[in-house]
Amino acid sequence: MRIHHNLDLVPATERAITIGVFDGVHQGHRALLNQMLIEARRRNLTATVITFPNHPQSVLNPPAPPLLTTIDERIELLEELGIEETIVLTFTIELSQRSAERFCREILIDKLNCKLLVVGDDFALGHRREGNVERLKQLGKEMGFEVLKVSSVILAGIRISSSEIRQMLLKGEIEKASELLGKPYRLKGFVQKGTGRGHQLGFPTINLRVSQEKLLPLFGVYASRAHLKGTSWDAAVYIGQRPTFGETEISIEAHLLGFNGSVSQGTIATLELLAFIRPDRKFDSVDALIAQMNSDLCVVTERLKVLKKLDYR
């Protein structure tokens, strides 16, 4: 997939385009993107996504919500879907104040030679969102591009959206969120040096540093799958502030089941959170914490056995 950060350097070609944050690249996004791919191939157009590295709310109504996917994660997922070209366009005040007509003429037509614009049913662009679907269809007739509207995806009575998934994750509803995403929720980052407390307690862990923009789900213990160095491991993952020890810094720790080696600092690791086991809490003693951790490992192991039978991963 070709990735562009400068509109002035984008090569000339006729394009099918869709625009959005696409945070999470969830099932609703995938329905729209797959429809764009079908139409682009049928019309011999380049399938192009315009996305923003920063959430528009960081400019229009800060603070922005935490992200389900960083821009790098989003690009990886778009490439997996077969998108041919992604244009990373920083969302700015100047961009938000352009009229829909100016955006379409100066960017979609003059810069990108858009022939087909694919949008969701609630999509709008331009100052004060005046460029709704009907307005865009009018502009398309004037400027020579077609507008295709793709309906939202409803699953179990829920309209799939990034905001809905965020709320599920913050409540620990990891399996519901993964169903809407179409894949397990992932935390990707670099292994960093920890305090060594897990090793002292008999549960050695790798400690993960993720982007500060990334949404962390409800603090607690999760049954997970860890991917690092080309190998995958079942894992018990803890996300929280270790209240038993009076700490406040957020920690993401993974105990890899059956792993006896070491992992170098700076190693890239991905944790797939598969099931929520219990919320974080403070224990009266270290012995009580160790007893709970042993219980957690038993629950994690059994939960992962069930998920494997269901071919969840």
Query: Taking the domains of the chain in order of start, what are their residue ranges?
Result: 2-158, 184-309
- In contact, 169 and 217? CB cutoff 8 Å: yes
Cα–Cα distance measured from residue 285 to residue 23, given in angstroms and rounded to the nearest whole number: 41
SS3 77: helix
The architecture that CATH gives domain 2-158 is 3-Layer(aba) Sandwich (3.40)
- In contact, 196 and 177? CB cutoff 8 Å: no
Supply the CATH classification number for the domain 184-309.
Answer: 2.40.30.30
β-bridge mates for residue 88, sequence order:
51
β-bridge mates for residue 92, sequence order:
none
Query: What tokens does 68 get?
Result: 């389900």
Of the candidates 80, 57, 244, 238, the residue with the CA atom closest to the CA atom of residue 163: 57
In order along its 313 residues, the chain shows pLDDT tens digits of 999 999 999 999 999 999 999 999 999 999 999 999 999 999 999 999 999 999 999 999 989 999 999 999 999 999 999 999 999 999 999 999 999 999 999 999 999 999 999 999 999 999 999 999 999 999 999 999 999 999 999 998 999 999 999 999 999 999 999 999 999 999 999 999 877 776 667 788 899 999 999 999 999 999 999 999 889 999 999 999 999 888 889 999 999 998 888 888 999 999 999 999 999 999 999 999 999 999 999 999 999 999 887 764 4
Read off the DSSP letter of residue 216: P
Q: How many residues does the chain have?
A: 313
Query: What tokens does 273 get?
Result: 């959170």
